[in-house]
């Protein structure tokens, strides 16, 4: 069983046959009540996992309708009215019911207490409440969008959303409002847990970078989401009462709605990407067998991103009527916020240098992230340039930009993290070959889907239109074809991950030979995570590429010697003598 300290060099366990522990958090209690009324952060993480996966496929279905409709320039598949509802539903579901919760509520919930050496989060009951708020909000939102629909886009701009739109705007808003509170409570929980429940010896600069990024994410969740809440409330009031604070007839300014909306929604995109960066930090360090280069810079960069993210929202409003002076201020600050993100990318890359790189599935996803996030981020700088944005705003250039970050970045990292921690969560290893195949299919499909959209946008194809000019058709067909490959990339893990639950090899506590407290306990972990509260005395990422390569070579030598002996025994038909069997291992 696992030892309580992290004093070991991260050396691999001897190749003994691993067993699933007798009692762990999954089998300690059975029955739907033990799941729906659980306070265990790991079970709540699983509840979230199932919910957000379902939401992902709902959002994906909406996207399928969108991309199928865009195969022809004249909206042959659905009426434009329906098309509007489809891209709105895609946006609302993907942003509010999938991306915002995904990594924090699934991997964060599961791992934050374990990485801190704690028994649970600070407020387990609030954690469960958070899930219920999410589920109720998601169901209300889904119902509203399915029966009646919403066609305003996920941004709900006034006065379209408040006065002119058909459909269930107010009800959808209620669903998002509830999901927002779920997000606030999760962030609150993480912040308090990180401050107050670290294991003995776990100082701030011994924390895994995952925790730093999750902490930064939580700061944003707590400070930004309430402004969304009040904006949504104001929209709902105006929708239902037909008078409100954004109504020009009352002297109101619709641009104020945009200010309040984007005050949340820009930091929100960092809620989506910071956890992805958290995952990538962990995977890169483990996959390269090196500590993350410039640990403190990466940690501070996470905080820097969180803080700066609040100062840039006006770059979504360059053409809204906002003053050009303010636009220039936001332009400058948007360039600034790219710096900490770039620091992270440089540092991950530097971590790979002279590392002992393993190309297992999580690593493929992590390296894919670095490339795709860089493209997405750089195109973000194009868009931060006011003069350029005037031409490409509300075109497919924007769509491509944020999909590179959200899908190429966040979803890729989410999948990488799911693969990386799958052994810890389930106690089983997924089939590595299938994992690598799926990762590559995803990478290819993704680029095929979204790269043409940069070109389309640059050439002038507007977004949120059911029809388009015929000269754009070739690239649109290419993009839709790519989407079908992307879909395969998403479906594959569903199959082999579920398959691995029963047939995958048993993982043991630390199949990746990773550092970090979560790997020092059994897989799956017991309900209270650790048999004994761990005491931390080593720095984080105590990897050594040379030691690992030596160890790998030694194991390979042992393996080959064993094969040799087995073959010899087979040929000679006799048992080996004790001296020959003594390899000095």
Partner 1 sequence: MAPETQAVAIAPEHGLLHHHFDDLEQQREATGLGMWLFLATEAMMFGGLFLAYTLYRWMLPESFAVGSKHLNIALGTGNTFVLLFSSLTMAMAVHAAATKNRRTMVLFLMVTWVLGAVFLGVKAVEWTADYHEGLVPAVSWHYFGEHPEQVSLLARHGEGPNHVMMYFVLYFCMTGLHAIHMVIGLLMVGIMILMGARGAFTQGNDQPVELVGLYWHFVDIIWIFLFPLLYLIVGFHSLGGH
Partner 2 sequence: MSQLASGTHASTATEQHGHHIVPLAVYYRVFAALMVLLVLTLFAATFDLGPLNVVIALTIACAKALLVVLYFMHVRYSHKLVWVFGGAAILWLGILFAYTIGDYISRGWLPIAGR
- Tell me how far, at minimum, the Cβ of 181 lies from partner 1, in Å: 9
In angstroms, the CA 132 to CA 134 distance is 5
Selection from partner 1, partner 2, none that 326 binds (CB < 5 to 8 A by kind) is partner 2
- Establish if 290 lies at the interface with partner 2 (CB under 8 A): no
Separation between Cα atoms, residue 481 and residue 264, nearest integer Å:
34
Is there binding between residue 5 and partner 2 (CB under 8 A)? no
Cβ at position 207, least distance to partner 1 in Å: 17
Report if residue 252 touches partner 2, rule: CB under 8 A: no
Selected from 226, 371, 431, 462, the binder of partner 1 by CB under 8 A is 226
- For residue 325, the minimal CB distance to partner 2 (Å) is 4
**Contact call for residue 28 and partner 1 (CB under 8 A):** no
Nearest Cα to Cα of residue 108 among 196, 209, 183, 210: 210
Q: Is 158 in the site for partner 1 (CB under 8 A)?
A: no
Comparing C-alpha atoms, which of 412, 426, 369 is closest to residue 45? 426
Which is nearer to partner 1, 20 or 126 (by Cβ)? 126
**120 counts as binding partner 1 under rule CB under 8 A:** yes
Shorter beta-carbon distance to partner 2: residue 326 or 550: 326
Nearest-approach distance from CB 315 to partner 2, in angstroms: 12
Distances (CA, A) of 553 to 77, 107, 546, 562: 58, 33, 11, 14
Site for partner 2 contains 228 (CB under 8 A): no
- Which listed residue (311, 357, 506, 547) binds partner 2 by CB under 8 A? 311
Residue 338 found at the interface with partner 1 (CB under 8 A): no
Considering CB under 8 A, how many residues would be counted as binding partner 2? Answer: 29
Tokens of 533: 């509260």
Q: Is 391 in the site for partner 2 (CB under 8 A)?
A: no
Binding-site member from 143, 223, 336, 388 for partner 2 (CB under 8 A): 223
Taking CB under 8 A as the binding criterion, the range among 2-10, 42-50, 251-259, 410-418 that sits at the site for partner 2 is 251-259
Question: 3-state class of 557 per DSSP?
Answer: helix
Helix axes 109-116, 209-241, angle to 10 degrees: 140
Integer Cα distance of 336 and 323 in angstroms: 20
Query: What is the rounded CA–CA span in Å between residue 151 and residue 144?
Result: 11
Please say which residue, 330 or 414, places its beta carbon nearer to partner 2: 330
Distances (CA, A) of 303 to 281, 297, 310, 439, 523: 15, 10, 12, 30, 31
Contacts of 585 (CB under 8 A, 6+ apart): 558
Identify which range of 84-92, 202-210, 356-364, 375-383 contacts partner 2 by CB under 8 A: 202-210
The b/e string for 314-338 (b: 16+ C-beta within 10 A; e otherwise) is bbbbbeeebeeeebeebbebbeebb
188 belongs to the binding site for partner 1 (CB under 8 A): yes
Least Cα distance to 266 among 302, 237, 305, 235 occurs for 305
Q: For the window 394-433, what string marks contact with partner 2 as x by the rule CB under 8 A?
A: ----------------------------------------
The verdict on 263 binding partner 2 (CB under 8 A) reads yes
Judged by CB under 8 A, which stretch of 253-261, 353-361, 447-455, 465-473 contacts partner 2?
Answer: 253-261
CB–CB of 60/487 below 8 Å?
yes
**324 is in the binding site of which of partner 1, partner 2, none (Cβ under 5 to 8 A by kind)?**
partner 2
Task: Report how far residue 192's alpha carbon sits from residue 112's, in angstroms, rounded to the nearest whole number.
Answer: 11
In this complex, which beta carbon is closest to partner 2, that of residue 230 or of residue 585? 230
Burial 5-40 (b: 16+ CB within 10 A, else e): ebeeebebeeeeebebbeebbbeeeeeeeebeebeb
| Shortest distance in whole angstroms from residue 258 CB to partner 1 | 13
Cβ proximity of 480 and 63 under 8 Å: no
Of the pair 306, 425, the CB lying nearest partner 2 is at 306
Under rule CB under 8 A, residue 237 binds partner 2: no
Contact region for partner 2 (CB under 8 A) — 193-201, 358-366, 409-417, 482-490?
193-201
Which of 1-9, 147-155, 235-243, 344-352 is the region at the interface with partner 1 (rule: CB under 8 A)?
235-243
198 binds, among partner 1, partner 2, none (CB under 5 to 8 A by kind): partner 2
Please state, in angstroms and rounded to a whole number, the distance separating the CA atoms of residues 584 and 576. Answer: 15
Q: Which stretch binds partner 1 (CB under 8 A): 19-27, 29-37, 186-194, 374-382?
A: 186-194
Distance of closest approach, residue 215 Cβ to partner 1, in angstroms = 12
Q: How far is the CB of 192 from partner 1 (least distance, A)?
A: 5
List residues bridging with 506 in a β-sheet: 428
Chosen residue from 24, 41, 42, 259 binding partner 2 by CB under 8 A: 259
Query: Measured over all CA atoms, what is the biggest interatomic distance in the chain, rounded to whole angstroms?
Result: 98
Residue 526 binds partner 2, judged by CB under 8 A: no
Rg (CA), the chain: 25
Where in 131-150 is the site for partner 2 (CB under 8 A)? none
Distances (CA, A) of 98 to 172, 173, 315, 412, 561: 15, 16, 24, 13, 50
Binders of partner 2 in range 52-91 (CB under 8 A): none
Contact by Cβ (8 Å): 220, 274: yes
323 belongs to the binding site for partner 2 (CB under 8 A): yes
State which residue, 222 or 547, has the beta carbon closest to partner 1: 222
Q: Is 196 in the site for partner 2 (CB under 8 A)?
A: yes
Instruction: Report how far residue 157's alpha carbon sits from residue 167's, in angstroms, rounded to the nearest whole number.
Output: 14
**Three-state SS for 126?**
helix
Cβ atoms within 10 Å of 450's Cβ, excluding its own: 25
Q: Which residues bind partner 2 (CB under 8 A)?
A: 195-198, 200-204, 223, 227, 255-256, 259-260, 263, 310-311, 313-314, 322-326, 329-330, 533, 535
The residue ranges that bind partner 1 (CB under 8 A) are: 118-124, 126, 184, 188-189, 191-193, 195-197, 222-227, 229-231, 233-234, 237, 241-245, 247, 249-253, 256, 260, 528, 533
């Amino acid at each position: 069983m696992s030892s309580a300290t992290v004093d070991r060099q991260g050396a691999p366990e001897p190749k003994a046959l691993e067993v699933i522990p007798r009692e762990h958090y999954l089998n300690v209690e059975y029955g739907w009540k033990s799941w729906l009324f659980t306070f265990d952060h790991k079970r709540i993480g699983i509840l979230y996992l199932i919910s957000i996966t379902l939401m992902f496929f709902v959002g994906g279905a909406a996207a399928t309708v969108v991309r199928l409709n865009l195969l022809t320039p004249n909206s042959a598949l659905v009426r434009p009215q329906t098309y509007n509802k489809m891209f709105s539903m895609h946006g609302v579901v993907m942003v509010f019911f999938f991306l915002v919760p995904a990594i924090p509520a699934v991997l964060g919930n599961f791992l934050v207490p374990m990485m801190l050496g704690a028994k649970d989060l600070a407020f387990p009951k609030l954690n469960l409440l958070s899930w219920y708020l999410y589920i109720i909000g998601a169901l209300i939102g889904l119902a509203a969008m399915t029966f009646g629909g919403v066609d305003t886009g996920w941004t709900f701009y006034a006065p379209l959303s408040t006065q002119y739109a058909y459909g269930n705007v107010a009800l959808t808003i209620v669903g998002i409002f509830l999901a927002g509170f779920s997000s606030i409570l999760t962030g609150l929980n993480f912040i308090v847990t990180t401050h107050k429940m670290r294991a003995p010896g776990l100082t701030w600069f011994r924390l895994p970078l995952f925790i730093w990024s999750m902490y930064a994410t939580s700061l944003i969740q707590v400070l930004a989401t309430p402004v969304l809440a009040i904006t949504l409330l104001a929209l709902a009031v105006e929708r239902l009462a037909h008078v409100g604070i954004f109504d020009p007839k009352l002297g109101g300014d619709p641009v104020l709605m945009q200010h309040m909306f984007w005050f949340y929604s820009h930091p929100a995109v960092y809620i989506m990407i910071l956890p992805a960066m958290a995952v990538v930090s962990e995977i890169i360090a483990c996959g390269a067998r090196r500590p993350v280069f410039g640990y403190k810079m990466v940690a501070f960069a996470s905080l820097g991103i969180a803080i700066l993210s609040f100062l840039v929202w006006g770059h979504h409003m360059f053409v809204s009527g906002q003053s050009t002076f303010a636009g220039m201020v936001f332009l400058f600050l948007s360039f600034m916020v790219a710096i900490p993100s770039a620091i992270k990318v440089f540092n991950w890359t530097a971590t790979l240098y002279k590392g002992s790189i393993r190309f297992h599935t999580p690593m493929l996803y992590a390296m894919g992230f670095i490339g795709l996030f860089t493209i997405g981020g750089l195109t973000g700088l194009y868009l931060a340039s006011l003069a350029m944005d005037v031409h490409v705003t509300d075109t497919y250039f924007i769509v491509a930009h944020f999909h590179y970050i959200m899908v190429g970045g966040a979803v890729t990292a989410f999948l990488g993290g799911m693969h990386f921690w799958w052994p810890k969560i389930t106690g089983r290893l997924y089939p590595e070959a299938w994992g690598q195949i799926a990762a590559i299919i995803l990478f290819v499909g993704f680029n095929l889907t979204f790269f043409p959209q940069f070109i389309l946008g640059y050439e002038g194809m507007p977004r949120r239109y059911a029809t388009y000019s015929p000269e754009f058709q070739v690239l649109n067909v290419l993009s839709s074809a790519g989407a079908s490959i992307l879909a395969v990339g998403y479906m594959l893990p569903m199959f082999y991950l579920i398959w691995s639950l029963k047939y995958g090899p048993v993982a043991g506590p630390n199949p990746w030979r990773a550092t970090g407290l979560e790997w020092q306990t059994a897989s799956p972990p017991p309900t209270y995570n650790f048999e004994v509260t761990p005491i931390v005395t080593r720095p984080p990422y105590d990897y050594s590429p040379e030691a690992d390569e030596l160890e790998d070579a030694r194991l390979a030598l042992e393996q080959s010697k064993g094969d040799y002996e087995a073959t010899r025994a087979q040929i000679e038909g006799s048992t080996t003598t004790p001296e020959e069997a003594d390899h000095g291992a």
